[in-house]
Amino acid sequence: MSDKVYEGLEERDEKTLEESLRELYANIPYDLPIGEEKYYHSLFLLATRMSGYEVEIEAHTDKGRIDVVIKGKERVVVVEIKYAKGKEAEVESKIEEAMRQIREGKYYEKYKSNKVTLLAIVFGDNKEIRYKFERVN
């Protein structure tokens, strides 16, 4: 599973990343998840660290705080994580909100000497997981 998380992030392969995280979350009993964003931050952090990445959490910039920065061999991935309650429209709205937050805060500027990828992730209370990758350079 950790190899699949690594591959999904390194190759910007949304499908592989989604499948690996769904597999991870499928192993968590239904009554354990907490309906809060920080719960999903923790699980994502563990999944990426176990995949062998150097991971920085709550990275401060001059304009805000990045949820997660993943430092790979070839690139840096700047991640914003959101939690959505309710309907699919809420999940879609949160994906755009997360990506807009990264762009408007220019969270990627700190890492521009590397290849940078932006990643917005939304976890829905209906076990839905959505991703959006965007290249910076």
Q: What is the pLDDT of residue 33?
A: 66
pTM of the model: 0.83
CATH number of residue 98's parent domain: 3.40.1350
Tell me if 131 sits within 8 A of 17, measured CB to CB. Answer: yes
Quick one: tokens of 135?
Answer: 């290249």
DSSP 10: H
Scan for tokens 């840096």, then name that residue: 76
DSSP 22: H
Q: List the domain range (segments joined by +) for residue 76.
A: 2-135
> What tens-digit pLDDT sequence spans the chain (137 residues)?
777 777 777 777 777 877 887 787 777 777 776 777 788 878 888 888 888 788 898 998 888 899 999 987 778 999 999 998 877 667 788 999 999 999 999 999 988 888 898 999 988 876 778 888 888 87
Q: What is the pLDDT of residue 23?
A: 83
Q: Structurally, how many domains does the chain consist of?
A: 1
